[in-house]
Amino acid sequence: MNAIKRLIVYLGIVCNISCHSAPEKTALVLPEASVLEKVLDRGTLNVFTLYNTTDFYVYQGTTRGFHYELAQDFARNLGVKLEIVEVNLNLDTAISRLRQGKYDLLAMGLTATPERREKVTFCAPLFRTDEVLVQNRRHSLIHSPEELNGKQICIPASFSAYDRLLQRLQDSLQIRFDVIELDQQFSEDLIHLVETGLIDYTVIDGNIAQISACAMPHIDYSLVLKENVSVSWAAPPGERLLAEEVNAWLQTIRRNGKLNELYNRYFIKTPVVPGNQSKYALLKTGKISPYDRLIQQASRPLGWDWRLIAAIVYCESHFNEDAESAFGAYGLMQIMPETAEHFHVHDYFRPDSNLYVGTSYLRYLDGYLTPYVPDAKERIKFILASYNAGPGHVLDAIRLARKYGKNPQLWDNNVDYYLRHKSEPRFYRDSLAKNGYCNGAQAYRYVQRVLDTYNTYRNIQ
């Protein structure tokens, strides 16, 4: 229900009261919109998640992850876009920011502890798992919780569920061991420390331990400390409408098998990565593609975030240096021969030269469009559209926007409309459209695709 519908409801209530009582001046105060209403009105679902080998990650330029793919599907179910706002914060900080309204959902595996229930609204469980002790099988293994007496166990800071579990074990078994909370460490980091022998023990969800063992052969996770733990997403406190929407969607994907298929993909099947490297090791390098260093170098004269250039390269060629289009565009940034010639480059088949030409052209477009769009951030959208469709068609759309009373310096819901519809005779035959017909819808989608890709790449340092 949007704000207008709520206003109608409350006006009806006020009118009903006025018919049965003496008229008096009463201030009309509408309740604040729910998070679900805000999501639908703004058209985006803002989520927090974790950057790791199962939840959300970028591999060979493609964004993947169990919770990422689920969140994308849920956003599509709502008819909105997904936006990953932040990743890998301290969990207490993430919960605090959820409560403050920075996110709509924590799209990650959370256990529903009593303390957390006071701070967030838990959705229905995605699945259930065990909480297990991780140890190094090259050392003497312990086979019962009683053997933890006198040991030292490391857990991620702010993962209070593990801390309480270990405290209950000590109290119930009348044993004592040291619990060390490590700042800025996440579960997979601690598993890796166990694997390399830098720490002796940690606690983690069994499904994470199982898939991590595919790449870390020395870990053992056979000792179960707690069985059948539910793993859920979380909405802000009191946001029952959003939680109920998640729950209804979960029922659907549970019935049609999508939830089970995604779970098997990320937690059961062996992850496929090049050579003998683990996916964990690859992700920790912060790599988007094999060309990251070249992209970083090429982006410096332009002054853009190199990850935005990487997003362009992905959308142009999927990081295939031999990609060639039906129109003769070639390489990572799909360079046309005429463009390469303009910048006096003849060996544009080489990745470094191809990137040089592409970023030089972007720099040229930046200067060309500056008089029309002074704001540098806003201008990026115009530049991307020009890179795809040519600056002439973008200038036509700017002129048409001005003619029809729209802001010619804003892209969203202004200039983009006229580029999108430049395939229609009423626009491309207009005397202001000096470059004629254009498949502007394709250029519009290109801008959106690049910016969406960049939004995910920004989470890689």
- pLDDT tens, position by position, 340-372: 999 999 999 999 999 999 999 999 999 999 999
| pLDDT averaged over every residue in the chain | 87
Which of the four pLDDT bands, split at 50, 70 and 90, describes residue 214? confident
**In CATH, which of 3.40.720.10, 3.40.50.300, 1.20.120.1200, 1.10.530.10 is domain 292-457?**
1.10.530.10
Predicted confidence at residue 240, as pLDDT, reads 93
Predicted confidence at residue 57, as pLDDT, reads 83
Which residues in the chain are classed under CATH 1.10.530.10?
292-457
Token pair belonging to 39: 């999501």
User: pTM of the entire structure?
Assistant: 0.72
Residues with Cβ < 8 Å from 322, sequence gap 6 or more?
331
Do the Cβ atoms of 339 and 357 come closer than 8 Å?
Answer: yes
Which of the four pLDDT bands, split at 50, 70 and 90, describes residue 19? very low
Predicted confidence at residue 12, as pLDDT, reads 46
Catalytic residue among 316, 321, 324, 424: 316
Among 253, 241, 213, smallest CA distance to 72 is for: 253
Which of the four pLDDT bands, split at 50, 70 and 90, describes residue 285? low
**Whether pLDDT at 7 is above 50:** no
d(CA 355, CA 188): 35
Token pair belonging to 72: 């994308």
Which of the four pLDDT bands, split at 50, 70 and 90, describes residue 18? very low
pLDDT > 90 fraction of the chain, expressed in percent and rounded: 66
Render pLDDT for 164-213 as a digit per residue (tens, 0 to 9). Answer: 899 999 999 999 999 998 875 677 888 989 998 999 999 999 988 888 88
d(CA 333, CA 351): 9
34-287: CATH architecture: 3-Layer(aba) Sandwich (3.40)
318 — alpha (psi -120 to 50), left (phi > 0) or beta?
Answer: left
Which residues in the chain are classed under CATH 3.40.190.10?
34-287
**Whether pLDDT at 398 is above 80:** yes
Predicted confidence at residue 88, as pLDDT, reads 72
**Whether pLDDT at 275 is above 60:** no
Higher pLDDT, 61 or 355: 355
| Helices (H) then strands (E): counts for the chain | 20, 11
Predicted confidence at residue 16, as pLDDT, reads 46
d(CA 157, CA 178): 14
Question: What is the amino acid identity at position 226?
Answer: K
Count CB-CB contacts under 10 A for residue 77: 15
Question: What is the amino acid identity at position 424?
Answer: E
d(CA 288, CA 312): 12
Predicted confidence at residue 8, as pLDDT, reads 42
**Whether pLDDT at 3 is above 50:** no
Which of the four pLDDT bands, split at 50, 70 and 90, describes residue 330? very high
Predicted confidence at residue 212, as pLDDT, reads 84
Active site residue 244: no
Which of the four pLDDT bands, split at 50, 70 and 90, describes residue 256? very high
Query: Per mean pLDDT, which range of 5-19, 50-64, 115-129, 264-278 is the poorest?
Result: 5-19
- Going from the C-alpha of 152 to that of each of 64, 166, 333, 348, 459, the distances in angstroms are 35, 11, 52, 57, 33
Predicted confidence at residue 276, as pLDDT, reads 40
Predicted confidence at residue 173, as pLDDT, reads 93
Predicted confidence at residue 17, as pLDDT, reads 42
Largest CA distance in the chain: 86
